Amino acid sequence: MSSQASDLITLGHRIRHFRGQRGLTLDQLGDRVGLAGSQLSLIENGRREPKLSTLQDVAAALGVDLTELLSREAPNTRAALEIELARAQKNPLYGALGLPQVKVTKGTPLAAVESLVGLHRELARRASEAIATPEEARRANTELRELMRDRDNYMPDIEQLAEDQVRASGHVSGALTHREVSVMAERLGFNLIYVNDLPNSTRSVTDLVNHRIYLPPASIPGGHGLRSMALQAMGHRLLGHERPSSYAEFLWQRLQINYFAAAALMPREASLAFLSTAKRERELAVEDFRDAFGVTHEAAALRLTNLATSHLDMTLHFLRVTGDGALQKGYENDGLPLPVDVTGSIEGQYVCKQWSARSAFTHTNRTTEFYQYTDTPAGTFWCATQTGATDAGEFSITVGVPFAQAKWFRGRETTQRAVSRCPDESCCRRPVSAVSSRWVGKAWPSARLHAHVLSPLPSGTFPGVDDTEVYEFLEAHAAE
């Protein structure tokens, strides 16, 4: 519906409003301006556009300024509802339902109008909600990953934005402080407020009217998570985000705010100064980068992927893998063969058991990174893996590079080596034949419900269960 048409509806309501205030009938006002009452009725219903001279006559007859008559505001609450209903009924969204147009008259109860408007609002909300099936979600995720791979995971515009914001907050060097994050928010016109009752489904809520950003309670003020969440909320504003119209746009916004927060916590200039020195000294280590900027291991590892190719002349990969070996997040521009499903999606796929992302779980000393060289069909990679645990279970964070680039990293002298033949299934996906033949048909495992919503069940004799692990478990215990 054109804005002109919707302005006509408002204009009509304003004329009717002032006519009612003056106690005039349609015919009486019509007489004064030289129009038939029926013609005036068409104008009041927004179905005819009056000439300017007619409007001037109407304004004069009603004793109001022309500008007052032409105001775009509804003259009262009921008129506002009627205008909204008229607009909604002309919307193609409603037209597609094939339902009749309801004509509201003076006698229509207010509750009926409110109910209809409420239903139209809900219809519009549902239609615009970014609903995605799991397939759409996976496809959008894959497209985004490929886009970022083409850009070497680097976004210069957001880098610049973050650097400017950080500098304006008074930050000079080292880790961005809690105080500096608050100053950044204040410069944007927002107050950071910590509350105990944020909705479960949100990480932060921004009140655009009162200019407040609500965050979860600060159990440890200055912690990485809290600064990051505040920065992400600010990122939405600074990047001019509108309500996402699709799941892909939602993901894109998420990626942008995460990037902004990381670029603010580990600003480009300071990060490159730190990383370049470490590279020159052949002492590159994600754990040092992490500690220098007071962020999580995962945040530091991801940040390295933003800067390594664009500024440090390196290709690399990043993996976040759960205790059961499933890939939660991954990035590579160094050719590491990530496991993919038929749609090209990597999330929920199991990485090779030989990779350090999984072998690190069996490593006893977990206080520092675990280093390993892995021969793969795509060449040899050097990887550094840090393991950790959350309430949801174990996970590992890996950053790795092709063999030739290992020389810049601490841990390059490791003697830990492994051979991975994946995606050849005989590498680690099929049971060793002797064990297999002994147990096939004689095992009955019961599957644990899978934690990853987006991930498919691994194929095998028992859906959701890794045969190899079951057989090896039985083999080990049978001997006891």
Cα–Cα nearest to 428, from 346, 372, 338, 351 = 351
In terms of CB distance, is 177 or 468 closer to Zn ion? 468
Per rule CB under 5 A, is residue 299 in the interface with Zn ion?
Answer: no
C-beta separation of 350 from 358 below 8 A: no
In terms of CB distance, is 161 or 352 closer to Zn ion? 352
In terms of CB distance, is 184 or 422 closer to Zn ion? 422
State how beta strands 370-376 and 417-419 pair.
parallel
Among 81, 263, 428, 470, binds Zn ion (CB under 5 A): 428
Q: Point out which residues pair with 393 in neighbouring strands.
A: 390
Per rule CB under 5 A, is residue 327 in the interface with Zn ion?
Answer: no
In terms of CB distance, is 242 or 425 closer to Zn ion? 425
Q: How many residues bind Zn ion (CB under 5 A)?
A: 5
The window from 311-319, 385-393, 428-436, 451-459 that contacts Zn ion (CB under 5 A) reads: 428-436
In terms of CB distance, is 401 or 428 closer to Zn ion? 428
State how beta strands 317-322 and 327-332 pair.
antiparallel
Detail the DSSP E strand segments found in 150-242: 191-194, 205-207, 212-215
Scan residues 171-200 and list those touching Zn ion (CB under 5 A).
none
Show the binding pattern over residues 401-420: x = contacts Zn ion (CB under 5 A), - = does not: -------------------x
Give the H or E element holding residue 365. none
**Residue entry with tokens 């930050």:** 171
Q: What is the length of the chain?
A: 480
Among 336, 422, 456, 467, binds Zn ion (CB under 5 A): 422
55/64 Cα distance (integer angstroms): 11
Q: Measured from the CB of residue 355, what is the shortest distance to Zn ion in angstroms?
A: 7
In terms of CB distance, is 246 or 468 closer to Zn ion? 468
Phi, psi of 381 (to 5 degrees): -120, 145
What residues have CB less than 8 Å from 201, skipping those under 6 apart? none
Q: Measured from the CB of residue 354, what is the shortest distance to Zn ion in angstroms?
A: 5
Show the binding pattern over residues 350-369: x = contacts Zn ion (CB under 5 A), - = does not: --x-----------------
In terms of CB distance, is 207 or 424 closer to Zn ion? 424
The window from 110-118, 129-137, 427-435, 451-459 that contacts Zn ion (CB under 5 A) reads: 427-435
Radius of gyration (Cα) for the chain, nearest Å?
Answer: 32
In terms of CB distance, is 168 or 378 closer to Zn ion? 378
Cα–Cα nearest to 110, from 82, 91, 87 = 82
Per rule CB under 5 A, is residue 59 in the interface with Zn ion?
Answer: no
Q: Measured from the CB of residue 458, what is the shortest distance to Zn ion in angstroms?
A: 13
Q: Measured from the CB of residue 340, what is the shortest distance to Zn ion in angstroms?
A: 14
Q: Measured from the CB of residue 388, what is the shortest distance to Zn ion in angstroms?
A: 23
CB-count exposure of residue 376 (10 Å: 0-12, 13-18, 19+): buried
C-beta separation of 336 from 350 below 8 A: no
Q: Measured from the CB of residue 352, what is the shortest distance to Zn ion in angstroms?
A: 3
| DSSP 8-state secondary structure symbol assigned to residue 98 | T
Positive or negative torsion for Cα 414, 415, 420, 426: negative
Q: What does 306-352 look like in DSSP terms, one character per residue?
A: HHHHHHS----EEEEEETTSBEEEEEESS-------TTS--TTPBPP
Residue 97 tokens, joined: 């339902």
Q: Find the largest Cα–Cα distance for the chain.
A: 107
Among 70, 132, 218, 427, binds Zn ion (CB under 5 A): 427
The window from 106-114, 115-123, 329-337, 421-429 that contacts Zn ion (CB under 5 A) reads: 421-429
The window from 200-208, 285-293, 349-357, 450-458 that contacts Zn ion (CB under 5 A) reads: 349-357
Question: Which residues form the interface with Zn ion (CB under 5 A)?
Answer: 352, 420, 422, 427-428
